[in-house]
Amino acid sequence: MLKNKIALVTGASSGIGRAIALVLAREGAKLTLSDLNIELVNETRELISAQGGESIAVKSDVGNAKACHDLVKLTVEQFGKVDIACNCAGIGGPSALTADYSLTAWEQVIRTNLSGVFYGMQAQIAAMMLQGSGSIINIASVLGVVGTPRSPAYVAAKHGVIGLTQTAAWEYGTSGLRINAVGPGYIETPLERSLVTSASAHDALLAAHALGRLGQPKEVAELVAWLASDRASFVTGAFYPVDGGYLAK
Task: Report d(CA 90, CA 113) in Å as an integer.
Answer: 5
Task: Report d(CA 131, CA 176) in Å as an integer.
Answer: 9
Task: Report d(CA 101, CA 188) in Å as an integer.
Answer: 26
Contact 182, 138 (CB under 8 A): yes
Gap between the terminal Cα atoms of the chain: 34
3's CB contacts (< 8 A; 6+ apart) are: 27, 28, 29
Catalytic residue among 101, 119, 154, 172: 154
Helix (H, G, I), strand (E, B) or coil at 196: coil
154 is annotated as an active-site residue? yes
Task: Report d(CA 59, CA 49) in Å as an integer.
Answer: 18
Contact 229, 134 (CB under 8 A): no
Please list the active-site residues: 154
